[in-house]
Amino acid sequence: MICANRTCNRIVIEHVIRCSVVMTLIAAIAGCSVRQPTEIAQIEQAPAEALPFKGRLVQGDPAELPPSIAMSLSASSPVTFSYREELTHDEYHIPLWASALDPVTLFGSPLGDYGVTAFATLTIMDGDKVLGDYTAKAHVTKSYNLYSEPTHAELERAARAAVRAKIDQKVHADNAHLVEATSALGRSARDSSGQ
């Protein structure tokens, strides 16, 4: 029923506004689809230990190596390290029309996610002989809302730290094989020099 006088129209409009405010407050209190942004997890990593042998870096930046490899560098070693990282960025955004119509947007509901994937390879060689070949992948993501947004640099640092920790774990898990391979190299070098 449409009211002809202004007082009736005003009452209907005030009622609609009150209902909208009440519904928004109920949605906020009930936590309807409100999700707090997750913090970038700190990388759990054991203290770095140097490898039981030294190596020379032939590919990669010495400042961007996994900690155990960085601690095991030597310019005169016959063993070589080749390390490479690649980063890819991805984003997910809730459609603008959906977030504009969702009242919990004002209360910090996520509007999307930013992510970085780091892929790393480490090859340990002696001449043409591969002593170890390791790959790892790490993905870091963080939500953003109206009030806070992660930086790409923050996500890149976290992804690089995660992938380097994974490479370190793989190298340390393969430590026995690497020790055997490098000691065999030392024996063959001694045998050839004794002939």
Same domain membership, residue 143 and residue 162: yes
What's residue 50's pLDDT?
Answer: 79
- Of 86 and 181, the one with more pLDDT: 86
- Of 12 and 178, the one with more pLDDT: 178
Same domain membership, residue 5 and residue 67: no
**What does the pLDDT average to over 4-33?**
54
**What does the pLDDT average to over 150-161?**
91
Same domain membership, residue 1 and residue 57: no
Beta bridge partners of 88: 117
Same domain membership, residue 157 and residue 125: yes
Quick count: other Cβ atoms within 10 Å of Cβ 151? 10
Across the chain, mean pLDDT equals 76
Same domain membership, residue 130 and residue 66: yes
In the predicted model, is pLDDT for residue 171 greater than 70? yes
* 56-59 sheet: strands from edge to edge: 56-59, 79-93, 112-126, 129-144
Q: What is the pLDDT of residues 86-121, one digit of tens each?
A: 999 998 877 877 777 777 777 778 888 999 999 999
Same domain membership, residue 82 and residue 17: no
Same domain membership, residue 73 and residue 10: no
Same domain membership, residue 100 and residue 11: no
- Of 31 and 78, the one with more pLDDT: 78
Same domain membership, residue 46 and residue 25: no
Percent of the chain with pLDDT over 90: 26
- pLDDT tier at 160, thresholds 50, 70, 90: very high
- pLDDT tier at 38, thresholds 50, 70, 90: very low
The residue segments making up the domain with residue 175 are: 36-194
Work out how many domains the chain is built from and give that number. 2
Q: Buried (b) or exposed (e) across 49-70, using 16+ Cβ within 10 A?
A: eebebbbebeebeeeebbbbbb
In the predicted model, is pLDDT for residue 156 greater than 50? yes
Same domain membership, residue 125 and residue 144: yes
In the predicted model, is pLDDT for residue 179 greater than 50? yes
Q: What is the pLDDT of residues 13-24, one digit of tens each?
A: 665 566 555 555
- Of 134 and 126, the one with more pLDDT: 134
**Any residues with CB less than 8 A from the CB of 87 and at least 6 apart, and which?**
116, 117, 118, 119, 156, 159, 160
- Rounded CA-CA distance 143/64 in Å is 27
Q: What is the CATH number of the domain that holds 142?
A: 3.30.160
Same domain membership, residue 113 and residue 65: yes
Same domain membership, residue 60 and residue 119: yes
